[in-house]
Amino acid sequence: MQENSKEIMSILEESMTLEINIGRLYMCFADKVPIDYNFWNQLAEEEITHSSLVNVGIDFLKIGDFPNNWPIGDLDDLVKTNRDILSLITNYQRNIPSRKEALEIALRLEQSAAEKHYQTLMNIPPEHDYSGVFKIFQELNGADKNHAERIERYIAHNRIV
């Protein structure tokens, strides 16, 4: 394993938790804003898939095959974002957000530093994929990316202002 593997492991575990928590928040939005149920459900499923892919990264780290140029997030930022998301889930389990509010929250989360590391991983060009690991992740992830752009398009398409 790499010399900073404990730190990387903590970051990956917190990243996996982040993806799960975002998925839980999106399912909460699906339940509370049923007009957008299919949209939220799709995003929630993709976030759960993202958590599984991060878990594969953990497996690579455990066997010492973790790429040195993996874009990892900041642990403190991930912890804070996870705490904030749990607070949002608690709030929206009791209160119904407007469509606009739910979409704005999701857009903010998807554009946050804590979530951008995942997007960076999905967009690493082949010439920087020294081990071939990133290509595997990108193929497994498929089209389940660019959530911020998809949310913006959904807002525009549905004229949610």
How many separate domains does the chain show?
A: 1
| Distances 59 to 2, 5, 43, 53, 134 between C-alpha atoms, Å | 13, 12, 25, 10, 14
Q: pLDDT tens digits, residue range 125-151?
A: 767 666 666 676 666 655 556 788 899
pLDDT-based confidence at residue 156 (cuts at 50, 70, 90): very high
Query: Taking Cα atoms as reference points, which of 161, 150, 160, 159 lies closest to residue 40?
Result: 150
With H, G, I as helix, E, B as strand and everything else as coil, classify residue 65: coil
Q: What is the DSSP letter of 62?
A: H
Which range marks the domain in which residue 18 is found?
5-157
